[in-house]
Amino acid sequence: MIEYANYLMPEQFSSIIKEHQAVRSEAGMFDCSHMGEFVVEGKDALKFLNYVLSNQFDDLEVKKERYSLLLDSSGFILDDLMVYRLAENKYLLVVNASNIDKDFKQLNKLKEVFEVNLKNVSEAYGLIALQGPKAKDVLEALIPGVGQLPFMSFDEFTYNNQVCLISRSGYTGEDGFEIYGGPQVIKSIYQRLYETSQVTPCGLGSRDTLRFEAGLPLYGHEINGFTTPIESRLDSFCGYDKDFIGKEALLKLKEEGITKRLIGIELLERNIAREGYMIYKDGINIGYITTGYMIPGTSNVYANAYIDQQVKLGEVVEVQIRNKMVKAKLRNRKFYDKKYVRGEKKNG
């Protein structure tokens, strides 16, 4: 157990390697009840979200979800989050646990000129993430109908006469589901899944190795209050055809050009490049590591890093690991081919 965002969280139940491989081959579940949930409701809900968040939501249908960024006026990333459209004028925002208070204050400050209500309902929700190639079959046996959900969509389902919201997306690169509900129904579903031989309980350790291998960012590592969507390669989640906070700063940055960018690294010698390690080219510091791991079950050692924009893919650099300079090659961040499933069409 470790402390994380004022919670005591399981880092691992058995081992990070076993849990990582279980999600890649069968199914693993994560208790994500520490995440924050906000409800945005009212006449101006859509207008408000289009202004305060980077992505475009005009075409987001009810029972669909979309990834977005919360930026400040300088274009820096305050958080990344998921937006669920519950009804025409009602949305659920799911934010990172470490940013709940900060995000809520920021959104509250910005809503004054909009006809909208904002509620922090984080304490009302428990959340389980079930991920892996067998996730659909396992959950379908427990809650019939979930297997028909298309990717990036959600619906309400009933378990033991209690309503829960289930979406189909994920943070591991595998097919998977997020199950939201009151504490009692979430506890009950978790217990049932725990008793299933095909489901492995997983902790924060494997959650990080899985998202890293799948090329997905983590707030506080690849993205933070000092990085922009352009540098972190999340620019595609910015709707430049609308006005949003940070847009002008990003357009100016596009015009002037960035000095650093997020890139992948593959170590050419046996070692592990940890967060914060410095990277050099011809004796000159050109960047730093944000996340680095040996991929569980393999001998492949990769890392994410912010690198000087002038240095190109394929070049060999050196990572300072303690007192040793270790050779590494710059590459893309596609360490794993995502296995998302679009879902089955409903009859009719």
Annotated binding residues for substrate: 178
User: Residues comprising the binding site?
Assistant: 178
What is the residue-wise DSSP string for 220-286? TTTB-TT--TTTTT-GGG--TTS--TTHHHHHHHHHH--SEEEEEEEESSS----TT-EEEETTEEE
Longest dimension (CA), the chain: 65
Q: Which of 76, 99, 46 is nearest to 238 (CA)?
A: 76
Q: Are 167 and 154 in contact (CB under 8 A)?
A: yes
Q: What one-letter code names the amino acid at 332?
A: N
Q: Are 170 and 212 in contact (CB under 8 A)?
A: no
Token pair belonging to 300: 């492949």
Q: What one-letter code names the amino acid at 345?
A: K
Phi and psi based region of residue 102 (left: phi greater than 0; alpha: psi -120 to 50; beta: remaining): alpha
The label of the residue with tokens 């939501």 reads: 57
Q: Are 262 and 306 in contact (CB under 8 A)?
A: yes
Round to whole Å and give the CA distance between 172 and 30.
11
Q: What one-letter code names the amino acid at 83?
A: V
- Exposure string for 116-142, b = 16+ CB within 10 A, e = fewer: bebebebeebbbbbbbbbbbbebbeee
What is the residue-wise DSSP string for 313-333? TT-EEEEEETTEEEEEEEE-S
What is the residue-wise DSSP string for 148-200? GPPTTBEEEEEETTEEEEEE---SSSS-EEEEEE-HHHHHHHHHHHHT-TT-E
Q: Are 219 and 79 in contact (CB under 8 A)?
A: yes
Round to whole Å and give the CA distance between 324 and 265.
17
